[in-house]
Amino acid sequence: MEFSEVLNNRRTYRDYSDREVSDEILDKVISAAFKAPTNDHLRQFEFVVVRGRENIAKVIAPLAKNMAAFKDLVFEVDTTGDKDKMAMFADALPKQQHMLMQSGLLIIPFYNQKQNPLLHPVEQSSLNYFASAWCALENMLLAATDEGLGTVFHIPVADEAEQIKKIVNAPEGYEFICLLTMGYPAEGAFLPKQKEINIHDRIHFNSF
């Protein structure tokens, strides 16, 4: 695909077929992460790859008790009344666990949080390693799209991160940014409507 096609085709899928993602494609997607910019140039990323629905279910077990609270939070904070946004949540919320297991492939991107604790930054630059990890993730999403895959990720809420780090025996000092799944989209998979954005309404010269 041309790069512009990859950008336009990158979409979030929550429904996957049973077709397995090969190790070769998995390697390509993870390799893309190491092409992203990092603040210290060391690219200290580590990836836990979990295959098989039973194995994934064990890793994401902490999600179950948080789903009710997560649903309440989403609907409480929404004041926009945006129909497209709420349609997306109506599809997404019931699938938080299912979508991570269905493709049979889960990736947990870890990074070394060297400075202040992630949830207690001293200043904006304390989040440099966190920001670098998200740059790496975007590369992975685009690489997966280029291979004809769909992707979706779940950002941990409440105590999920700490519980999952224990389950996968993460070393001290390492954090993960999300739970990422990728796979071949199921036929008829729901796609949320994307907002049409006029970029000239969002570009401000010299001041906001």
CATH of segment(s) 3-187: 3.40.109.10
**Closest to 184 measured CA to CA, from 14, 19, 74:** 19
Beta pairing class for 105-112 and 150-154: unpaired
Predicted structure pTM score: 0.87
Q: Where are the domains of the chain?
A: 3-187
What is the end-to-end Cα distance of the chain in Å, rounded?
A: 36
How far is the C-alpha of 36 from the C-alpha of 20, rounded, in Å?
26
pLDDT in single tens digits along all 208 residues of the chain:
899 999 999 999 999 999 999 999 999 999 999 999 998 888 889 999 999 999 999 999 888 777 666 556 555 555 566 666 656 655 565 667 888 888 899 999 999 987 778 878 889 888 899 999 999 999 999 999 999 999 999 999 889 999 999 999 999 999 999 999 999 999 999 887 888 899 999 999 999 9
